[in-house]
Amino acid sequence: MADHCQQQILEAAQAILIAAATAAGSHVYLDHVDELLEADLPAIHVEGGDEDVSDETVGHPVFQQRQFSFSTSCIVSGAGYGKAARNLAGQIEAAFLTPAPPLNGKAISLRLRGSTVNKDGSGATVLFEVRQQWLAAYYTKGGTPDALA
């Protein structure tokens, strides 16, 4: 069995952002749980979220519409951190939305749902984060969560 479509979407997002040559360069992390070091910044963190599933047909096989949420976090430090994080978020939008990325040759719909800002000056390094919420919409056949329909 291939990876679940959720994992495929996250890995495709990571690959798109690395290929886009953003200000984060190759510092694009997927489901990163360890603390990022100053040498790792600027960075983009891609993290999976929740998924809503609804049946679109009756019978067998059932076609399911899936809406998978995930986030991207632009994490920067140093002088001009707010501007740098917002500009990095803009680079993510440009990479994801022009044109919509395919997954294994099939289109998925990506939509930006919103963003939030987090500032942390409590440690030795001031961190500034812009977190974007994304929604990936796609279809599968019932029982095949690893293949787009």
For residue 53, the domain's CATH number is 3.30.2000.30
Domain-embedded: residue 146: no
Output 6-10 pairs: Cβ under 8 A, ≥24 positions apart.
6/48, 6/51, 6/68, 6/145, 7/48, 8/103, 8/104, 8/146, 9/68, 9/70, 9/103, 9/108, 9/136, 9/138, 10/46, 10/48, 10/70
Q: Residue 33: is its pLDDT beyond 70?
A: yes
Domain-embedded: residue 149: no
Q: Residue 103: is its pLDDT beyond 80?
A: no
Residue-averaged pLDDT of the chain = 88
pLDDT-based confidence at residue 98 (cuts at 50, 70, 90): confident
Give the E-state strand segments of 121-149 in sequence order: 127-141
Q: How far apart are the first and last CA of the chain?
A: 16
pLDDT confidence of residue 55: 83
Domain-embedded: residue 15: yes
| Structural domain boundaries, residue 59 | 5-141
CA separation for the pair 38, 147 (Å, rounded): 38
Domain-embedded: residue 147: no
Record the pTM: 0.89
Domain-embedded: residue 115: yes
pLDDT confidence of residue 148: 82
Give the CA distances from residue 19 to residues 29, 42, 92, in Å, rounded to whole numbers and listed in that order.
13, 16, 11
Domain-embedded: residue 43: yes
Segment 110-133 mean pLDDT: 88
Q: H helices within the chain, ranges in order?
A: 5-19, 81-97
Query: Are the C-beta atoms of residues 67 and 140 closer than 8 Å to each other?
Result: no
Segment 30-40 mean pLDDT: 87
Domain-embedded: residue 60: yes
Segment 123-145 mean pLDDT: 88
pLDDT tens for each residue of 41-94: 999 999 999 999 988 776 677 888 999 999 999 999 988 899 999 999 999 999
Domain-embedded: residue 130: yes
Structural domain tally of the chain? 1
